[in-house]
Every structure is written in structure tokens, then in C-alpha cells.
Amino acid sequence: MTVVERLARELGDIVDTSASVLDEARADRSGHRSPGAPLAVVHARSVEDVQQVMRIASTTGTPVVVRGAGTGLAGAANAGPGEIVLSTARMTRVLEVRPDDLLAVVEPGILNAELNAQLGRHGLWWPPDPASREISTVGGNIATGAGGLLCAKYGVVRDAVLGVDIVLADGRLLRLGHRTVKGVTGLDLTSLVIGSEGRLGVIVGATLKLRRLTEGAVCTIVASFPTVRDAAAGSAAVTAAGVQPAIMELMDAPSLAAVHALLAMPAPVAGAAQLTIQTDGPAAREEADRIAEVLRAGGGDVVLSDDPAEGERLLAVRRAMHAAMATLGTTLIEDVAVPRSQMAAMFDEISRIEREFGVSIPTVAHAGDGNLHPNFVFEGETVPPHIWAAADELFRAAIRLGGTLTGEHGVGTLKSRWLADELGDDQWEIQRQIVRVFDPQGILNPGKVFSHA
């Protein structure tokens, strides 16, 4: 009996071998695609379904790739020949909401935006705000350690998870973490699982740390600068002034021009870069006035609004970035982060790489936390060698500036070749050993993150 036959016998019609579904599981939104189709996609409905899949996979030595919405940007959930795809996208329940404890217990397949729609009825919200919030799952957010526009003030996924439930490679269920705000018993395995990209176990549940909905106004500031370096310096000046915006986003001239064209807006001033900033809470107006003062002192042309509808219209320019890049060609969307004081220097490096490699790299940044998204634009479906060469130089530049290969997208398939350069050989080997403790057979997401683990 084949593995697929055994899956079908024990799990029934949730085992899908249709050609279109198998083909879809080969790719995510990174542009990377596996060389062939997986064996089957199992649409798990429960923890028990996940455990049964892993028991079969463990017994037969069959690799398993865990997949949510498939919106990742690093190739971490792409499945290939000989692999089972374990989809948790149908596990969408909110199991518990505790306003008194500011926590919720959820299944991994619920969409980020849908979760917050449900929490809003309780006067609560879950702060992580990835750009893909309308289409990305909470389980995927946790698996990749996702971030988003609100990270500067409210933190990333790692700051908003109290515990995770995972199924190990052999089918055992572990409940990690706490329901308490404080908890230091034993090693922090919850933090280890966050951002582990499917290598340590299958996330089947999460206990989330919530906030009450923010009261008060929201003010939006848009500041135009003559160059991207000026805009980066402006964002650093805001940080140095001690003001804490909820959102601080930077768009360079090519990305800004592409969005204006997509939205049929008048073309921006040639070469101009833009900061979009929001403040919230009871002191929003006072903070916005202070930020506007700092930006004007740095040469920015500033517009400030406390009208919610106008604020959303202004922020929509930043949120349209990915769609605008798609109009320019095929895009390799990258994700480096540097210390905030090095933002201007990193933009200098991007300009140098554009000149030296003859490539276009429109870039946006979560300027409040130093996370940049350079977009390498090219023609065709396969990333050309000169684009990888330019990306290689960009990654190394970020590391030289004290930064990291990825702030929120993860390593996946695309960045595994550079991981040891950042970690160093000793740490890289220790991390590979940790993977083997959780998954001795190496059947969970093989070849991802650690290319040889």
C-alpha cells in the first residue's frame, strides 16, 4: 500500500490529489517554485487529523510540508516530489476569548484580519499587522515570525504569543508556553517555535496576547523629501526625538512613482521619497505635531490630518506597494533589517548595488524598526543569475551594517545559502542539532532554512 493510499484509507476525503491543488502547493508568493508536484494535500480539520498524518509520515519516512494560506515570501511552504502537504487552512476556529485575561486561543488557519474582526466585538485586537493580513493565517504568521506596519510601537508576532500547541514529527502533541503574563519555568520553547518555519513541529493552536482597542484619535502625517537618504534621516530624527508613532513607513522614489501610476494619482516630484506616519491614542495629536516639527526641520514637506478617512486614503498608498511592483515585472521581494541608525547607509548601499549590477531595486521600509523590503525587478519567471548576484551583495551589505538577512519573511528556501554567513558556523551547527532533537528523521520541511538539516 502506498503512502497516499494509506492516507486516503485512514483520513478519507480530506486527502486531495487533484492536479490543480498539487500544482498550487508547489509555490508561494516569493516567485520560487518546486521542481515537481507533491504526493497529496491533506486538508486537516482537527488536531487528530494532523497527528494521524504525522504518524503515517513518521512510520513511512515520508517528508511533510506544512502549509497555511501560501502567502509566504521565502519559499518555506513550497512542496515538491515525494512530499505530503499538510494544510491547516481549514482549522479556523477561535476556541476561547478571555477579555479579563487579555488572551485568545485560536486554531492556526484563521486569517489575521478575520481574527481581529471577531476580537473587535469584545473591544480587543491582536497587534501584529502584516501587509498580507487579509489573506495570511495566524499559524503562518507565527511560523515565519511575521511583522508588519505596526511593529514599531506594538511589536512583532513574537511579542504577542503566550503559547503554541505543536504536533511533533512522530505525532505527539506538545502544549508550550503559558496562559499567564509571566512564566519562566524551563526553557522558552514557545519562542523557539516562533519563526521556525515548519522545521520543529506542526502548529495546531496558539494562545495569543491581546490588547484593548486603542482609544483616542489617529493622526496621519505624510512627508515628502528630495531624496530617499533625506527621508531615512527624517525617520531617524523622529526616533531620536523620543516620539513613538504607531506606523512609520518609507517609500523611495521608484516605489512611490509605481504606486502613483497604479492608483492613477498625479506623478510625484522626480526623485522624491515619502514617509507616511501615524500616531494613535489619547496623545495622538500632540505626538503628530511634534513629529511634523521634526520632519520640517529636516527639510520635509509635511501634510498632517486627523480625519480617519483621509488617514486611510494616505496610508493606502503604502499598502498598494506589492500590487504596484507586480505591474513592473517579476519581483523578488526581499527583507533585510538594519539598526535604525543605519537606514540611510543601507539606502546608500542599495543605490550602489543598482549602479554596479545594472538593476532596479525599488525599496520600501518599515522605518520605525529598520526593516527594508528591496524589490528586485526582472523579466521572466526564473530569477536570473545577475539578480541573485545583486541580492547576494545586498544581504552582505546588511550584515556588514550590523543587520540581518530577514526581519519578518523568514529564511525558507531562498535565503538558506546565506544563513551561516550571519549565524557563524558554530551557531548554525547548534541550530541544526536542535532541529534533529525535535525531528530525528528529518521529515518536517526538509531542505528549508538549513539546507542540509
CATH number at residue 80: 3.30.43.10
HSE, CB side, 13 Å, CA atoms: give it for residue 210: 26
Q: Could you read off the pLDDT of 396-406 as tens digits, one per residue?
A: 999 999 999 99
Q: Which residues have C-beta within 8 Å of that of residue 244, sequence separation ≥ 6?
A: 152, 153, 287
Residues 245, 344, single domain; the answer is yes
Residues 378, 253, single domain; the answer is yes
User: Could you please report the per-residue DSSP string of 130-196?
Assistant: -TTTTT-BHHHHHHHT---TTHHHH--GGGGEEEEEEE-TTS-EEEEE-SSS---SS--HHHHHTT-
Give the residue carrying C-alpha cell 518536517: 444
* Domain region containing 206: 94-212
Residues 76, 113, single domain; the answer is no
Residues 7, 41, single domain; the answer is yes
Q: How far apart are CA 333 and CA 361, in angstroms?
A: 10
CB atoms within 10 A of CB 180: 10
Pick from 329, 334, 335, 376: nearest CA to 353: 376
Give the residue carrying C-alpha cell 515537481: 36
Q: Could you read off the pLDDT of 317-365 as tens digits, one per residue?
A: 988 998 899 899 888 889 999 999 999 999 999 999 999 999 999 999 9
Q: How far apart are CA 277 and CA 368, in angstroms?
A: 9
Residue 15 resides in a domain: yes
* pLDDT over 80 at 451, yes or no: no
Pick from 41, 76, 69, 56: nearest CA to 169: 56
Q: Could you read off the pLDDT of 18-64 as tens digits, one per residue?
A: 999 999 999 998 878 899 999 999 999 999 999 999 999 999 999 99
How many domains does the chain contain in total? 4
Residues 266, 377, single domain; the answer is yes
Pick from 245, 194, 186: nearest CA to 220: 245
pLDDT reported for residue 380: 84
Domain boundary among the residues 175, 191, 212 is at 212
Domain boundary among the residues 34, 53, 87 is at 87
Residue 407 resides in a domain: no
Residue 140 resides in a domain: yes
Q: Is 393 exposed, middle or buried (0-12, 13-18, 19+ CB in 10 A)?
A: middle
Residues 103, 15, single domain; the answer is no
Q: How far apart are CA 63 and CA 38, in angstroms?
A: 10
pLDDT reported for residue 322: 85
Residues 224, 373, single domain; the answer is yes
